[in-house]
Amino acid sequence: MSDITFIGLGHMGAPMAANLLKANLPLKVFDLTPAAIQAAVQLGAKATPNALHAVVNAEVVISMLPASQHVEGLYLGEGRLIQAIPPGALVLECSTISPEVARKVHAAAKARGIQMLDAPVSGGTAGAAAGTLTFIVGGENTTLERARPILEKMGKNIFHAGGPGAGQVAKIANNMLLAIHMIGTAEALNLGVANGLDPKVLSDIMKVSSGGNWSLEKYNPWPGVMDDVPASRDYQGGFGVDLMLKDLGLAMEAALATRTSTPLGSIARNLYALHTSQGKGTLDFSSIQQLFKRPSQNPA
Ligand code: NAD
């Protein structure tokens, strides 16, 4: 494998790139933050001065950027990166963005003879570091088979959701459900504690009862109920409120575009918007527990 370019070395991109380097794949990197490039160079990557330089002779281009506007700006905006990527190359766009923008980039890539997958991920920064991400892929089957050996260096599970944009649709549907059951879990725990229950005892009961769900079992939002979750370290690290709010916005856009009713998703978006307006945007999304806080209660 020659000439892989990685653009966007943030919380997720940096450890993903590190896993490709660990697998001895040669990597050219670019990020708007010089320190992020330098950190990748320390691990063996080659620095490039800008994105256009980074894709010269690229066989594979991987991007991991914050949101739709960054992806659209990079590939189709002023620099028109898509025009600089060699025909025949493979683009793996791993950011969580709108299905519509993903499809626009797919179309521009196809017009240039470039193969592309939208391949958003699940698994967070811990999964990125461990190389155990889940990739949720949209695009052609043959493109996925070409990409598989590279995706396998960064992830454990690879799902083919459907054609162009389908990876993003599956990802935002999943994250809408995640937000809803996190809020429901926080609400139920608060109700129990307000009525005299120990949050750990209540969690143990609900985990094996019909209220059991991922947020309760793996990511309990009440401080001190579980070790090694953001709730037990002042909601630091993990998946930020602002990123969850972005994903809920994408879900609402997709719902509007198809006249789909998403009443709970809409309430979830509003609760996360309220939470971020209270200065909580950089905390982990399980900090939504604090919205239910009463002065005498535990969540700090
Ligand atoms: P981040 O903000 O930490 O990293 C984004 C990086 O992209 C930054 O280093 C930034 O400098 C760089 N960047 C932005 N525009 C650029 C451009 N035009 N050219 C080059 N570099 C550019 O974000 P993150 O947490 O790594 O998330 C990346 C994506 O992954 C997001 O879409 C997010 O929703 C998704 N995601 C994040 C998590 C998580 O737990 N953080 C989990 C799953 C999915």
| Calpha distance 14→36 (Å, rounded) | 8
Check 171, 246, 280, 293 and give the catalytic one: 171
Beta bridge partners of 47: 29
Residues of the chain with pLDDT under 50: none
Atom of ligand 1 nearest to the CA of 120: 44
**How many C-alpha atoms does 143 have within 13 Å on its Cβ side?**
25
Predicted model pTM: 0.93
Fold exhibited by the domain 169-292: N-(1-d-carboxylethyl)-l-norvaline Dehydrogenase; domain 2 (1.10.1040)
* Residue extents of the structural domains in the chain: 4-164, 169-292
Fold exhibited by the domain 4-164: Rossmann fold (3.40.50)
| Calpha distance 67→246 (Å, rounded) | 8
Written as six digits, the tokens of 213 are: 């769900």
Going from the Cα of 94 to the center of ligand 1, the distance in angstroms, rounded, reads 9
Which residues contact residue 186 at a Cβ distance below 8 angstroms, ignoring those fewer than 6 apart? Answer: 221, 222, 286, 288, 289, 291, 292
At 124 the pLDDT is 85
Instruction: Confirm or reject: Cβ of 18 under 6 Å from ligand 1.
Output: no
Contact yes or no for 148/90 (Cβ under 8 A): no
DSSP secondary structure, 171-191, as one string:
HHHHHHHHHHHHHHHHHHHHH
Residue 29 vs residues 52, 135, 191: alpha-carbon distances, Å? 11, 21, 49
Going from the Cα of 120 to the center of ligand 1, the distance in angstroms, rounded, reads 11
At 238 the pLDDT is 85
At 43 the pLDDT is 98
Q: What phi and psi, each to the nearest 5 degrees, are found at residue 115?
A: -85, 145
Instruction: Confirm or reject: Cβ of 239 under 6 Å from ligand 1.
Output: yes
Q: Which of 21, 29, 16 is nearest to 1 (CA)?
A: 21
Nearest CA to ligand 1 atom 40: 124
Fold identical between 4-164 and 169-292? no
Q: Which of 293, 292, 231, 241 is nearest to 269 (CA)?
A: 241
Query: Among positive and negative, which fits the CA dihedral 230, 236, 241, 242?
Result: negative
At 293 the pLDDT is 81
Atom of ligand 1 nearest to the CA of 74: 18
Residue to mutate (ligand 1; options 7, 31, 247; most atoms within 8 A of CB): 31
Instruction: Confirm or reject: Cβ of 79 under 6 Å from ligand 1.
Output: no
Nearest CA to ligand 1 atom 30: 95
> What's the alpha-carbon Rg for the chain, to the nearest Å?
20
Going from the Cα of 15 to the center of ligand 1, the distance in angstroms, rounded, reads 12
At 103 the pLDDT is 97
Residue 171 falls in the annotated catalytic set: yes
User: Mind listing the pLDDT tens digit for each residue in 13-59?
Assistant: 999 999 999 999 999 999 999 999 999 999 999 999 999 999 999 99
Which residues contact residue 198 at a Cβ distance below 8 angstroms, ignoring those fewer than 6 apart? Answer: none
